[in-house]
Amino acid sequence: MKDGAFGRLRASLSGAASIASGSSREASLVVACLVATTVFTLASPWFLTIENLATVAQASVDLLIVSLGMTIVLAVGGIDLTVGVTMAIASFFVGKALMIAVPAPLAAFLGPLVGLFLGAVTALTIVVGSVPPIVATLGLYGVFRATMYALLGGEWLSGLPNVFAPLVRPTVLGIPVVAFELAGLYALAWGVFRWTPLGVWWLAIGGNDEASQLAGVPVRRAKAIAYLASGLLAGISGAFYVAQYRNVEMTTGSTIALDAIVAAVLGGASVTGGRVSVLGTALGVILFRILQNGFVLIGVPSLWEQVVAGMLLLGVLAMENAARLRALAIGR
């Protein structure tokens, strides 16, 4: 695409971009996090402790990474239900490599490599096979999950060597180094959406696929890159999972796809595409994990976690639909 065309396309997306980078949703999420923290602190003496906050932070790492990939896919109007099992398969290969004494850097590299491969399978199915994303990723989820069961053979990988400690344990000025690693990933994604043709293409495709094609956007290539990025990030999260928990089990990543969708939508992403907020996604993850942890501490059964996730998603979608209907009514 020529520079002039790119500039015109970017200008045409200024409305969507302003929503994506606006502060209203992010400010609301910050307030919601503070309110939830206050409520759970009053309800449980264990919530606002160093140990519990560390638990919340640890539980947020894999979801932060996977949710970033889901945000990219939602930007193009897609969805990726394979992210959890992609993370699980990636963590299996990382863990298996450690068990046979593969050097730690090479073992860690297997995570994103496996994620990239599975992301390519998803991209080919959707882009080349022209299969609707929800159908393609639901079918591939079954295939990948069966593959995971076959790889594990009904057993867990446990007691893995603690060779990834430098990846997650050190601190800089009292802040865990993993926080800087995650901030780097999110800053990179924000820069892609804000300053590169690829980010503009993703938002344009999500806003109007056919119009983007007519404007010269390489729609198929941009969509493929989105699913490759989602797979890559899920693979990276698999390596972090092994680094933190040092085990791989049958249920690894089983609910993280729904959690990632909830976090991204809470953060301002539209399920129909064309609008995202990278910072909003991060805040959505934090709010979601605070709610999950707080409910456990006040004695709510863990079974209700997915109920909460579903209700949050439905609630946000209902509010967005109401807002859209109001805008249409005003436009008339």
**Domain spans, the chain:** 3-331
How confident is the model at residue 322, as a pLDDT?
75
Let me know if 45 is exposed, middle or buried by CB neighbors in 10 A (0-12, 13-18, 19+): exposed
For the chain, the average pLDDT equals 87
Residue 14 has pLDDT above 60, yes or no: no
pTM tops 0.85, yes or no? yes
- Beta-bridge mates of residue 175: 172
Instruction: Please give the average per-residue pLDDT across 291-306, as a whole number.
Output: 83
Residue 163 has pLDDT above 50, yes or no: yes
Higher per-residue pLDDT: 12 or 243: 243
123 φ/ψ angles, rounded to the nearest 5 degrees: -60, -45
How confident is the model at residue 19, as a pLDDT?
40
Q: What is the tens place of the pLDDT at every residue in 80-129? A: 999 999 999 999 999 999 999 889 889 999 999 999 999 999 999 999 99
Highest mean pLDDT pick, 2-6, 24-28, 221-225, 303-307: 221-225
Dist. CA 276–CA 142, nearest whole Å: 28
**Residue for token digits 């400690």?**
165
Higher per-residue pLDDT: 11 or 199: 199
Those residues with Cβ within 8 angstroms of residue 203's Cβ, 6 or more apart along the chain or in another chain: 13, 16, 17, 20, 75, 193, 274, 275, 276
Share of the chain above pLDDT 90, in %: 53
199 vs 66, 73, 116, 191, 320, CA distance in Å?
18, 11, 19, 8, 23
The correct CATH number of 3-331 out of 3.40.50, 3.30.70, 1.10.3470, 1.20.272 is 1.10.3470
Dist. CA 246–CA 41, nearest whole Å: 30
